Each structure stands twice: as C-alpha cells, then as structure tokens.
C-alpha cells in the first residue's frame, strides 16, 4: 500500500459544517450592526439638514430652502452632494416646505426613508423645530411630511 497523506472526505465535510454553523451565528449579528449603522447615519444626516436649514434661513432672511439641491454644492454648499441628491447611506431623503403659503418657505419638514432591502427599518423626520421623530422598530407609525408640516402618526421623539 502507498502511504498517502492528506485529509479524508469526512474530515473536510466536518470542517465545512463547522464553518457553516459559525456563519449562521455571525451573519445575523452583522446584518443588525449594518442596520443600526444606517439608521444612525440617517439621524445624523437629518441633524445636518436641520443645521443647514438654520444657516440658510440666516443667509436668506427668514426663509428655508425649498429643495435639498439649494443646500448642496450647487447652491449654498451647506450639505454634501450625496444628501443634496436625496440618497445617502441607503436612505432616501425628501424635503417639503410651505411654498404655497404667504410668506413662502417659512416652515420645512424632511424625511428619511430606508431603501428597500437596505437593512434599515425605521423612518425618520425632522422639522423647523429641530425635533427628530422615528417610526416604530417595525417601520409602522412613521412620521410624514406635507407642505412643510410634520404629522407624527404615532411616531416617537428621539431622546
């Protein structure tokens, strides 16, 4: 008989099974961490948006920016290009103002909605008062914005 050295098929299968078990334990934690990071980034972007609106109001004498683009590099350069484009960290951002009122653009409201399949679940909103509100952990009771006003729909404030 030849003296062959190496691993048997059974030994290799045992190693593969062990690796699969470790992956099954680690992947959910990784996905939860990614979701938490995306949600934290969305809240930070809304805080940045609120600060930028305050600066815009000071520059433009008591009116808020009616669009994200006007706050971005193409406008007053108060926010980065990704946020000005409306998509950042797997969240879609939208801004509304009371543009039909007189005087116009004296109120604003912005939302952050997770992109489908992005790992984020919660929806967020901020208005000219600076309060940031979040939906429930399952995405229900989400705050909404229309004509610069926020409707809470059961959303809770972020502490």
What three-state secondary structure class fits 116?
coil
How much is the pLDDT for 63?
Answer: 92
Give the model confidence (pLDDT) of 27-37 as tens digits.
888 888 888 89
pLDDT at 95 over 80: yes
* Average pLDDT rounded to a whole number, residues 93-121: 90
What per-residue confidence (pLDDT) applies to 31?
80
Neighbours of 22 (CB within 10 A): 10
Tens digits of residue pLDDT in 120-132: 889 999 999 999 9
Of the candidate ranges 48-62, 110-124, 143-157, the one whose mean pLDDT is the lowest: 110-124
Give the per-residue pLDDT at 62: 83
Determine the average pLDDT of the residues in 72-95.
93
Q: What is the mean pLDDT of the chain?
A: 90
Question: Dihedral (C-alpha) 78, 83, 84, 90: value to the nearest 10 degrees?
Answer: 180
pLDDT at 23 over 80: yes
C-alpha to C-alpha distance for 126 and 108, rounded to whole angstroms: 8
Pick from 71, 69, 30, 94: which is nearest to 38 by CA?
Answer: 30
Q: How far apart are CA 2 and CA 143, in angstroms?
A: 73
Q: Tell me the mean pLDDT in the region 109-123.
A: 87
Element (H, E) at 114: strand 108-114
């Amino acid at each position: 008989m030849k003296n062959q050295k190496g691993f048997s098929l059974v030994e290799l299968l045992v190693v593969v099974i062990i690796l699969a078990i470790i992956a099954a334990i680690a992947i959910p934690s990784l996905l939860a961490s990614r979701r938490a990071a995306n949600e934290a980034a969305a809240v930070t972007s809304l805080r940045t948006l609120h600060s930028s609106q305050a600066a815009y109001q000071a520059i433009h004498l008591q009116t808020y920016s009616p669009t994200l683009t006007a706050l971005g590099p193409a406008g007053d350069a108060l926010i980065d290009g990704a946020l000005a484009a409306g998509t950042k960290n797997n969240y879609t951002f939208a801004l509304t103002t009371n543009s039909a009122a007189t005087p116009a653009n004296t109120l604003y409201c912005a939302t952050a909605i997770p992109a489908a399949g992005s790992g984020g679940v919660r929806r967020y909103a901020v208005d000219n008062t600076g309060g940031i509100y979040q939906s429930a952990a399952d995405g229900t009771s989400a705050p909404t914005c229309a004509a610069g006003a926020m409707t809470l729909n059961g959303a809770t404030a972020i502490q």
